[in-house]
C-alpha cells in the first residue's frame, strides 16, 4: 500500500489559473493581457469589457481561487501532507513569474502544477505550459536557479470532479417545477474554441470534444441511475470569441435553448462541465445571458454548480498529487478515472495541443527545461 501522504520528490504545489480584474480600472489592462497578439476584434473586447463592468469590474475568479487555495492548504494539513501550496496567474496578479520567483527564493526545486482547466486544448493546457516556459526564462535571465516543473494529468474524468457535478445536476433538477422535471434535458456546456484547435487537441487530436462527451455521458448516467429517468442530453458551447469568419465549436448554448423550446422540450438544466469554478463565463454567459434567453422563451432553465472548492474535488487534487509523486518515484499508483477514456497521460507528449505558432512549453516531453 503506497503512502498517500508521501509527496517526494515534490516540494511544492502551484495552483495555476487565468486571473481576472479586481476593479473597474483593471478591466482594460486585464483584457489587453488576455488578448495580446490573438487577433480578437475590438468590438468583441468592448462587449466583454461590459460583462465585467456589470459586476463592478470584478471577476469572481480570484476569489474562487483564494477559496480553493485555502481549502487545499487545510485539506493537506488535515491529511498530513507536508506540501506548501502557491498560486499564480496567466493574466493578472499574482502573476505566474512573480510566484515562481518567490517559490525559488523559498528553496522550492521540484514543483507540481495544478491548472484550473480540466481538459486538453491549447487554451486549457499548452498555453499554461508556455506561460511556465516564459516564467522559467525570466528567472533564468535573473540568474536564479531553475526549478523542475511538472503538470498534473487532466482531471476531467476524476471521480472528485465528476461526482460533485452529478450531485449538482440532481440539486438543479429539484429546483425545476415538478411538471417540467421528468422531461427536462441536460445541456452540458463548455467554452467554445476554434474547430482547428479542437481537431488538434490532445496527443492524437480531437481530445477536447471527446473528453467533454465522456464527462457528459458519465454525469448523465449517474443522474439516470439516481432518478430512474433517462433524460436526453447534448454538449453545447458558449463564450465564442475571435473573428466571425473563423469556425468555432457549435451549437451555441443560447441557440440550443431556442431549439429545445421550438421542439417542445419543457425545460433544461445547464451543466457547466467546462469550468472549474463560477467565474465570469458562468456568471455572465450562463447566469445572465443564457438565463435571459430562457426567460424570453418562457423556458424553465436552472444552472447546476461547478466544483469550486467542493471537499471531494479538493481531496481529488490531494490524491492526484500523491499519485503523481508515487509515479515519479517509480511506483505504480492506482489511477482513478470514470467514463470510457481512462486516466490521462502524466506527461504531455511532443506536439500535444499545438498552438498557432511553435513556442517553448515547459512541463511536457518537448520542454526545453529539465
Ligand X SMILES: CC1=C(CCC(=O)O)c2cc3nc(cc4[nH]c(cc5[nH]c(cc1n2)c(C)c5CCC(=O)O)c(CCC(=O)O)c4C)C(CCC(=O)O)=C3C
Q: Nearest 5 degrees, angle CA 113-CA 159-CA 350?
A: 40
* Residue 242 or 333 with smaller CB distance to ligand X: 242
d(CA 20, CA 49): 12
User: Is 237 marked within a binding site?
Assistant: no
| Residues making contact with ligand X (CB under 6 A) | 18, 20, 31, 34-35, 38, 40, 44, 48, 59-61, 116-117, 121, 123-124, 191, 193, 239, 241-242, 274, 279-281
The helix/strand count (H/E) of the chain reads as 13, 8
Which one, 48 or 322, has the nearer CB to ligand X?
48
Q: Least distance in Å: CB of 125 to ligand X? A: 8
CB of 90 or CB of 256, closer to ligand X = 90
Q: Is 191 exposed, middle or buried (0-12, 13-18, 19+ CB in 10 A)?
A: buried
**Nearest approach, Cβ of residue 167 and ligand X (Å):** 22
Residue 281, annotated as binding a ligand = yes
The CA angle 22-26-237, to the nearest 5 degrees, is 75
In DSSP notation, 329-359 reads TT--------SSS-SPPSSBPTT-S--SS--
Q: How far apart are CA 304 and CA 211, in angstroms?
A: 19
Identity of the residue, 276 or 301, whose beta carbon is nearer to ligand X in the bound complex: 276
Residue 294 near residue 301 (C-beta atoms within 8 A): yes
- State which residue, 45 or 297, has the beta carbon closest to ligand X: 45
Residue sitting closest to ligand X (CB): 241
Question: In whole angstroms, how close is the CB of 89 to ligand X at the nearest point?
Answer: 10
Whether 155 has a binding-site annotation, put simply, is no
- Minimum Å gap between C-beta 279 and ligand X is 3
**Which position has the grid cell 443564457?**
290
CA distance 305 to 317: 18
Question: Looking at beta carbons only, is 17 or 97 nearer to ligand X?
Answer: 17
Q: Binding residue per annotation — 304?
A: no
Q: How far apart are CA 188 and CA 234, in angstroms?
A: 6
Distance of closest approach, residue 309 Cβ to ligand X, in angstroms: 16
Q: Which of 28, 17, 40, 11 is nearest to 239 (CA)?
A: 40
**Binding site residues for Fe-coproporphyrin III, as ranges?**
59, 128
**Binding site residues, as ranges?**
59, 128, 191, 281
**Binding site residues for Fe(2+), as ranges?**
191, 281
Amino acid at each position: 500500500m503506497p503512502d498517500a501522504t508521501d509527496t517526494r520528490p515534490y516540494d511544492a504545489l502551484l495552483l495555476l489559473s487565468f486571473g481576472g480584474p479586481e476593479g473597474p480600472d483593471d478591466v482594460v489592462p486585464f483584457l489587453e493581457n488576455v488578448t495580446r497578439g490573438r487577433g480578437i476584434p475590438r468590438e468583441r473586447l468592448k462587449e466583454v469589457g461590459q460583462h465585467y463592468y456589470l459586476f463592478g469590474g470584478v471577476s469572481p475568479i480570484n476569489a474562487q481561487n483564494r477559496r480553493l487555495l485555502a481549502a487545499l492548504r487545510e485539506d493537506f494539513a488535515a491529511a498530513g501532507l507536508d506540501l506548501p501550496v502557491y498560486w499564480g496567474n496567466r493574466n493578472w496578479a499574482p502573476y505566474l513569474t512573480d510566484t515562481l520567483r518567490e517559490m525559488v527564493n523559498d528553496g522550492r526545486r521540484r514543483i507540481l502544477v495544478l491548472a484550473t482547466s480540466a481538459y486538453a486544448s491549447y487554451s486549457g493546457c499548452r498555453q499554461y505550459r508556455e506561460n511556465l516556459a516564459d516564467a522559467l526564462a525570466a528567472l533564468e535571465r535573473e540568474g536564479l536557479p531553475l526549478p523542475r516543473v511538472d503538470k498534473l494529468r487532466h482531471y476531467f474524468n476524476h471521480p472528485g470532479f465528476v461526482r460533485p457535478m452529478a450531485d449538482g445536476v440532481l440539486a438543479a433538477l429539484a429546483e425545476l417545477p415538478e411538471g417540467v422535471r421528468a422531461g427536462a434535458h441536460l445541456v452540458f456546456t463548455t467554452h467554445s474554441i476554434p474547430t482547428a484547435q479542437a481537431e488538434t487537441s490532445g496527443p492524437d487530436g480531437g481530445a477536447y470534444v471527446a473528453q467533454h462527451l465522456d464527462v457528459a455521458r458519465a454525469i448523465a448516467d449517474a443522474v439516470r441511475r439516481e432518478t430512474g429517468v433517462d433524460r436526453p442530453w447534448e454538449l453545447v458551447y458558449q463564450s465564442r470569441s475571435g473573428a466571425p469568419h473563423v469556425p468555432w465549436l457549435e451549437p451555441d448554448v443560447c441557440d440550443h435553448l431556442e431549439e429545445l423550446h421550438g421542439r417542445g422540450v419543457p425545460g433544461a438544466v445547464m451543466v457547466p462541465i467546462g469550468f472549474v469554478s463560477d467565474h465570469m463565463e458562468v456568471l455572465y454567459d450562463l447566469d445572465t445571458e443564457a438565463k435571459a434567453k430562457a426567460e424570453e422563451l418562457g423556458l424553465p432553465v436552472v444552472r447546476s454548480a461547478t466544483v469550486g472548492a467542493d471537499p471531494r474535488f479538493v481531496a481529488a487534487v490531494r490524491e492526484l498529487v500523491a499519485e503523481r509523486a508515487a509515479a515519479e518515484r517509480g511506483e505504480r499508483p492506482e489511477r482513478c478515472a470514470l467514463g470510457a477514456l481512462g486516466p490521462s497521460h502524466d506527461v504531455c507528449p511532443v506536439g500535444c495541443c499545438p498552438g498557432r505558432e511553435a513556442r517553448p512549453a515547459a512541463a511536457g516531453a518537448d520542454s526545453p527545461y529539465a
